[in-house]
């Protein structure tokens, strides 16, 4: 069994936490100055671990093993949400670094190749899953030209300012890259509720992101009688209630939907809103259910427009993502490693969150594993995981990584 160094693992995680530390959490938005500083630090740590490391043309940090392969890519992301936790994504990247070091320090595994990645902008500050999409060869030029952050900064300008524009972009290497492993915190409460320490991921849910724009008539809030108002804000709120009822009829226990943002124009207490935007996301592991929800939403919009003096327009906010099953043989490697390291303390489970693994699975077999999130909280400053679970998870991931690569090497010999 591979021996990791728990102190080194936790020290690196806590050092990464210091880049953008805000109370117990982290603010490290993609391509911000503090994010770029953390990426330079990662390059240094990867280089010290014997990897050939650098930052590519979109901002991904990639450390390439000097061993010839077959190679396992281990990683996740180190950018955060605007009010982010210290482990979301970051843990998987530092796991990759520690696994590369641990395997290199063991005579039985030092010949194995582990490449380590911190994909850029998984969280969508400019364009979600940008680094992994670039890695698999998606045409991302339009995203680079058109994407902006919420402050209006263009992605193209951010890359130029960071000195990254024009740099080569890391790509999937057929014949070398044979599998992808993404360790991650659960970001939910299923493991904690079950009293388990490790989750072996079976499926990553698909999602839809849509915008509904309600258009009425801006007017004076004091002099406009309720009977003649065309209040876009009130219409939006009423629509959400109808939508919730309709989606509940289609959903199962794991179906989720969220109105994560509402914008009112002009946003004044003394003005009846003339327009209102709501940004909707829904997720499910069943592709047919996602389609049914999308169709139901379109029906609700048509019915609403036929019956109301406020109109609503439905548009796609971001490209849809379909559910993705994790590679069965790789998941079995994780299950065997979990049973060896933490017997009886693991379970198989879906991921309700999107991850780079679902993109990378398009070019090579991919798998994911989870460790518990305290209280099931993530995307918040108080996100946390017990250190014993962080260490245990790395032991499981390292054990599985060695087994995956040994199997690949045996198949090639």
Q: Where are the domains of the chain?
A: 6-205+323-412, 206-321
CA angle 334/17/98 to nearest 5° reads 35
pLDDT digits (tens, 9 = 90+) for 139-150: 999 889 999 999
pLDDT digits (tens, 9 = 90+) for 357-403: 999 999 999 999 999 999 999 999 999 999 999 999 999 999 999 99
The verdict on whether residue 380 carries a ligand-binding annotation is no
Residue 413 has what pLDDT?
A: 80
CB neighbour burial string for 293-329, b if at least 16 within 10 angstroms, e if fewer? bbeebeebbeebeeeeebbbebeeebeebebbebbee
Spell out the SS3 assignment of 82-99.
CCECCCCCHHHHHHHHHH
Report the predicted TM-score, pTM, of the whole model to 2 decimal places.
0.88
Residue 1 has what pLDDT?
A: 79
Fold of 206-321: Alpha-Beta Plaits (3.30.70)
Residue 69 has what pLDDT?
A: 82
Q: Are 92 and 73 in contact (CB under 8 A)?
A: no
The verdict on whether residue 52 carries a ligand-binding annotation is no
Residue 318 has what pLDDT?
A: 81
The verdict on whether residue 379 carries a ligand-binding annotation is yes
Interacting residues of 365 by C-beta distance below 8 A, sequence separation 6+: 178, 179, 180, 327, 329, 330
Residue 319 has what pLDDT?
A: 80
Which secondary-structure segment (H or E) carries 393?
A: helix 387-412
Residue 16 has what pLDDT?
A: 98
CA distance 31 to 34: 8
Residue 267 has what pLDDT?
A: 97
Residue 317 has what pLDDT?
A: 87
CATH of 6-205+323-412 given 3.20.20.140, 3.40.630.10, 1.10.1040.10, 3.90.380.10: 3.40.630.10
- What's the burial of 244, exposed, middle or buried (CB within 10 Å: 0-12/13-18/19+)? exposed
Interacting residues of 392 by C-beta distance below 8 A, sequence separation 6+: 197, 198, 341, 342, 345, 371
The verdict on whether residue 184 carries a ligand-binding annotation is yes
Residues of the chain with pLDDT under 50: none
> Around 197, how many Cα atoms within 13 Å sit in the side-chain half-sphere?
20
């Amino acid at each position: 069994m591979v021996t990791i160094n728990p102190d080194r693992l936790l020290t690196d995680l806590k050092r990464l936490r210091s880049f953008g530390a805000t109370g117990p959490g982290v603010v490290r938005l993609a391509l911000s100055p503090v994010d770029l500083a953390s990426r330079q630090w990662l390059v240094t740590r990867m280089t010290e671990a014997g990897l050939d490391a650098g930052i590519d043309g979109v901002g991904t940090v990639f450390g390439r093993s000097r061993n010839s392969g077959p190679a396992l890519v281990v990683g996740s992301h180190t950018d955060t949400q605007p009010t982010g936790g210290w482990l979301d994504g970051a843990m998987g990247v530092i796991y990759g670094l520690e696994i590369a070091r641990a395997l290199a320090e063991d005579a039985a595994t030092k010949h194995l190749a582990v490449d380590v990645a911190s994909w850029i902008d998984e969280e969508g500050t400019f364009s979600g899953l940008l680094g992994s999409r670039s890695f698999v060869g998606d045409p991302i030029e339009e995203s680079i030209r058109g994407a902006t952050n919420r402050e209006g900064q263009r992605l193209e300008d951010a890359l130029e300012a960071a000195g990254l524009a024009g740099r080569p972009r890391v790509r999937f290497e057929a014949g070398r890259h044979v599998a992808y492993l993404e360790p991650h915190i659960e970001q939910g409460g299923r493991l904690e509720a079950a009293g388990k320490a490790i989750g072996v991921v079976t499926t990553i849910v698909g999602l839809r992101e849509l915008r509904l724009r309600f258009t009425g008539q801006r007017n004076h809030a004091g002099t406009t009688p309720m009977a003649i108002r065309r209040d876009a804000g009130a219409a939006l709120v009423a629509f959400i209630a109808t939508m919730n009822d309709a989606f509940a009829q289609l959903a199962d226990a794991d179906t989720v939907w969220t109105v994560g943002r509402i914008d009112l124009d002009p946003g004044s207490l003394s003005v009846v809103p003339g327009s209102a935007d709501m940004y909707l996301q829904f997720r499910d592991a069943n592709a047919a259910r996602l389609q049914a929800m999308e169709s139901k939403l379109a029906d609700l919009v048509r019915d609403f427009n036929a019956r109301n003096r406020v109109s609503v327009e439905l548009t796609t906010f971001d490209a849809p993502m379909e559910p993705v099953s994790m590679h069965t043989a790789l998941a079995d490697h994780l299950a065997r490693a979990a049973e060896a390291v933490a017997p009886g303390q693991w379970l198989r489970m879906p991921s309700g969150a999107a991850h780079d693994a679902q993109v990378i699975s398009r070019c090579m077999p991919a798998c994911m594993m989870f460790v518990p999130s305290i209280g099931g909280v993530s995307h918040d400053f108080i996100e946390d995981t017990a250190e014993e679970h962080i260490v245990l998870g790395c032991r499981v991931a390292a054990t599985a990584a060695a087994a995956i690569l040994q199997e690949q090497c045996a198949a090639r010999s």
